[in-house]
Structure 1
Amino acid sequence: MTDDAAPLPPLTDVLATARVVALPLVTRFRGIDVREAVLFEGPAGWTEFSPFAEYDDEEAAAWLEASLDYGWRPAPPARRDRIRVNATVPAVDPDSVSAVLARFPGCRTAKVKVAAGDQTLAQDVARVRAVREVLGPEGRVRLDANGGWNVDEAEHALHALAEFDLEYVEQPCASVAELAEIRRRTKYMGIPIAADESVRRAADPLAVAQAGAADLLVVKAQPLGGIRRALAVVEAAGLPVNVSSALDTSVGLAMGAALAAAVQELDYDCGLGTASLLAADVTAEPLVPVDGAVPVGRVVPDAALLDRHAADAERTAWWLARLERCHAVLAG
């Protein structure tokens, strides 16, 4: 745990209430059809541990640190009680865009996934065009490439997509050096560059800011080790930020909303509306957008829904073993 964190709770206390859930998605996202997570209750309330399956224990331990911080400590003081959120459009066909956006009522901003390995630039252009047509000229359109382009590909893609009046492009390239280069090459276009993976998956989350490689940062509570650590990154970076999530359940989204509520300046609609991409959730009142925003506050899962969406025995054992290994990483 970090120096300013509470003592590490015993593993037995964490496992005492731990429940592993498997929630189906409305549409395939990040290559998965089902989102798995571990939920457990601490003295401060319910919390979530849900690093993606491919992350190793060292990286996943930061997600557990965040979960323990949120479950065992009160959230920092909130500056706002509602968070405006963006719609998220996976790599779907243009004909499906309207249906996806309809799941985000009142949202004035859409984040569109591009640069997927099984998609062409022409498909990306068609998808972004469809989003712009649905949102109209007043809507805000941002892209998320998840580091899928090299510098030349990113430059070519931004030229092809610039006509859609982009708010910014998130993680067009994978490395900090590449981000700095694409930012230099395309500065005249006036499309801001945002860093996500170069913050949350970096040994030094401040490196991207120090290198002048981004105009804004995308911060997420779980990958950065918790709300307080994320706030420290925001303060030290000195750049505008957008608070986002990692396809969490409503319990995890509430953690993200607590981070967004505590950030001093919040100029961008946040990526905290992704419960709309879940076909099921752990609460009967999921944290989905209402009039383009989600409320700030803790979420208590419904016991019946935890039972209904419980992962099978094999996946439950896998997740609990992973949690135990990550707890050992933090303890060590």
Structure 2
Amino acid sequence: MQDRVAELPPVSDLLRDAVAVGLPMRTRFRGQTVREALLIRGPKGWAEFAPFAEYQPEESAAWLGAAVEAGWRGLGAPLRESVPVNATLPAVEHEDVPAVLARYGDGITAVKIKVAEQGQSLQDDVARVSAVVRQLPRAAVRVDANAGWTLAEAAAALPRIAEAAQGRLEYAEQPVPGVEGLARLRELLSADGVAVRLAADEAVRKEEDPLRVARLGAADLLVLKVPPLGGVSRVLDLVEQAGLDAVVSSALDTSVGLAAGLALAARLPRLPYACGLGTAALFARDAVSAPLLPSAGRLAVPVRDGVITAPAPDPELIDQVRLSPARQAWWFDRVHAAHAELASRIVG
């Protein structure tokens, strides 16, 4: 028991070189215009602690566990040198689609499109999908509703979106809330002869038992984010137990935090889909001098001495994005609370 407690560094070690930053975003994304994160330096490299502001210690503890793994135990050795990534399209107006996609450069092979945005209509979603198809006639399409539809809305929306995608819709990510909701939607679509694969995101990371998705046959694949699931090692184990293909996605990480997602994607035995790890392109400014941006539809895995290592923050850039002393203190308080929660789970 004491050995397990010793695996968790004291708060003083976590905060010794920590700095809270705020990265301005080019376009509002999931309600965010500035993405705040706490960058932490450990003996194995830099890591990131960035649970969204509404998350309480119970949820934030997993994010801290992922940061401890990255900074204190390391991210492991890769099986592949680069990872295919999709472009991520926020819920912008259809006429703004070309400008957003241009930030990802050439070679885009897949686009993840946000749909079911509050205050927008299904017609807005269909127009956005159609604009992507016109702009990139050879790219695959996937849509992400963030559990924003009811069962009836999803059953009505997905056939129209599939039609707009012109045969190139790879899957719909978390169209409805919960594991049971996904399972029921899958039944309805099958009964109506609608061939749309479903991917579980929130139904995995917000459930006490993420493997219920696989046991209930609620989804065709899993969309996995490293921080809310507690680290790369835990997610690799989850994928093995679930027996489903996985897509690795960003939690709107800075380039420091993206290294953990890249580590997972680089270590998965199978990687049949492009991953949602190109999100550094959504920031107007990053904390590192060489942000992890895709080139020709792929992201290079950052490796040093044979192991995956996050890029180090640039001191000059940190000065530009450092949060106020009050926000620094707020983030430090969150670490204290998450640390206490994580320690209680280890002892328990």
Per the normalisation by structure 1, the TM-score is 0.97
Contact 1:5 1:69 in 2 (8 A): no
3-state secondary structure, aligned to 2:108: coil
Contact 1:145 1:171 in 2 (8 A): yes
Instruction: Supply the RMSD in Å over aligned alpha carbons.
Output: 1.4
Candidates 172, 175, 179, aligned match of 2:178 = 175
Q: List gaps (5 residues or longer) in structure 1.
A: none
**Separation (CA, whole Å) in 2 of partners of 1:5 and 1:220:** 25
**Separation (CA, whole Å) in 1 of partners of 2:180 and 2:226:** 25
The aligned counterpart of 2:156 is 156
The aligned counterpart of 1:42 is 42
Q: Following TM superposition, by how much is the alpha carbon of 1:220 offset from its aligned partner in structure 2, in angstroms?
A: 1.0
Q: List gaps (5 residues or longer) in structure 2.
A: 303-309
235-244 or 313-322: which moved more? 313-322
**Separation (CA, whole Å) in 2 of partners of 1:81 and 1:157:** 38
Cα gap change, 1:6 to 1:162, in 2 (>3 Å): farther
Does residue 1:8 correspond to 2:8, yes or no?
A: yes
Candidates 203, 219, 234, aligned match of 1:229 = 234
3-state secondary structure, aligned to 2:113: strand
Please show how residues 72-83 of structure 1 align to structure 2 within 5 Å.
Answer: 72-83=72-83
Candidates 287, 293, 296, aligned match of 2:292 = 287
Q: Following TM superposition, by how much is the alpha carbon of 1:118 offset from its aligned partner in structure 2, in angstroms?
A: 1.3
3-state secondary structure, aligned to 1:189: coil
**Deviations 1:123-181, CA, capped at 9 Å, x for gaps:** 11111110111110x21000000000111100000121111131100000011111001
**Separation (CA, whole Å) in 2 of partners of 1:227 and 1:4:** 18
Does residue 1:329 correspond to 2:324, yes or no?
A: no
289-298 or 36-45: which moved more? 289-298
The aligned counterpart of 2:305 is none
**Separation (CA, whole Å) in 1 of partners of 2:5 and 2:254:** 24
Does residue 1:309 correspond to 2:330, yes or no?
A: no
Q: Following TM superposition, by how much is the alpha carbon of 1:313 offset from its aligned partner in structure 2, in angstroms?
A: 1.8
The aligned counterpart of 2:122 is 121
AA matched with 1:303: P
AA matched with 1:74: G
Q: Following TM superposition, by how much is the alpha carbon of 1:107 offset from its aligned partner in structure 2, in angstroms?
A: 1.7
239-248 or 310-319: which moved more? 310-319
Candidates 249, 254, 263, aligned match of 2:259 = 254
AA matched with 1:162: A
Does residue 1:244 correspond to 2:249, yes or no?
A: yes
**Deviations 1:282-331, CA, capped at 9 Å, x for gaps:** 11110011111111122111011111100112221111101111011111
Please show how residues 47-86 of structure 1 align to structure 2 within 5 Å.
Answer: 47-86=47-86
Identity over aligned pairs, percent:
52
Contact 1:244 1:271 in 2 (8 A): yes
Q: Following TM superposition, by how much is the alpha carbon of 1:77 offset from its aligned partner in structure 2, in angstroms?
A: 2.6
Cα gap change, 1:4 to 1:331, in 2 (>3 Å): closer
Q: What is the count of residue pairs matched by the alignment? A: 330
The aligned counterpart of 1:219 is 224
Per the normalisation by structure 2, the TM-score is 0.93
296-305 or 9-18: which moved more? 296-305
Does residue 1:145 correspond to 2:145, yes or no?
A: yes
The aligned counterpart of 2:27 is 27
**Separation (CA, whole Å) in 2 of partners of 1:208 and 1:308:** 43
**Separation (CA, whole Å) in 1 of partners of 2:96 and 2:172:** 22
Contact 2:226 2:261 in 1 (8 A): yes
**Deviations 1:87-133, CA, capped at 9 Å, x for gaps:** 00000001110011111122210000000111111111111110111
Does residue 1:111 correspond to 2:112, yes or no?
A: yes
3-state secondary structure, aligned to 1:223: helix
Candidates 191, 200, 211, aligned match of 1:195 = 200
AA matched with 2:180: A
**Deviations 1:200-256, CA, capped at 9 Å, x for gaps:** 121111111111100000011111000000101100000010001111000001111
The aligned counterpart of 1:95 is 95
Q: Following TM superposition, by how much is the alpha carbon of 1:6 offset from its aligned partner in structure 2, in angstroms?
A: 6.9
Cα gap change, 1:178 to 1:5, in 2 (>3 Å): farther
